[in-house]
Structure 1
């Protein structure tokens, strides 16, 4: 999957989530996640019943950018919200093999609800 296509998909998902009022990850305190098996950072999820191949869990109260690497050599930057547990799914024969924090400031907007959300357009780093 080329990086422009991945970027377009991430933009669409972010836009839909902000309009439909997705669960507010920014207020989901770690204590509210009691009993979960999530760990901070990137980790593969083989055999996940939801079908994900990997996740990136951001364990902090700020928005960050991560670089995502695919098994076909492609990569892209993505904005991650506070306490977001971001899933990655298979794209044909390709899977995400790594994702990590990069020191690039994400663009953040304030939704009508007052919630801070990742903007659809992000720096390319």
Structure 2
């Protein structure tokens, strides 16, 4: 085989290999491991099943976040350090925004082993 034929076959093989790699279907979970963590609220559009969004807390403290539904109602949720809150559909309705509020959350447990209490202040 001459040099030009070997180069042509190598180029064709590389083209086929790169095309095949591009066709591999990766799940969102594997891409999430590669992507940096997004802090705060983000919507998933289009939704993945019933999952419509997340709130990621990127900090070492407990915080309170306020959620707003597309119906106009809202409520607060405690988020633990470095915690993630998923948001799911409630029938046809979904959470459209979530953000940090300065009101401290209610926490329970001894120092160093605390968790979010069931009841949280409305802010």
- Note the residue ranges of structure 2 that are not aligned, 5 or more in a row: 1-31
RMSD: 2.0
Aligned to 2:94: 95
TM-score, normalization: structure 2? Answer: 0.66
Would you say 1:52 and 2:51 are equivalent positions? yes
Aligned to 1:115: 113
Would you say 1:124 and 2:105 are equivalent positions? no
- Where relative contact order (Cα < 8 A, 6+ residues apart) is larger, the structure is 1
Q: CA deviation at 1:35?
A: 2.9
Max radius of gyration: which structure? 2
Q: 1:38 to 1:49 in 2, by over 3 A?
A: farther
- Note the residue ranges of structure 1 that are not aligned, 5 or more in a row: 1-32
Aligned to 1:78: 77
TM-score, normalization: structure 1? Answer: 0.65
Aligned to 2:62: 63
- What is the aligned length? 91
- Secondary structure in 2 aligned to 1:54? strand
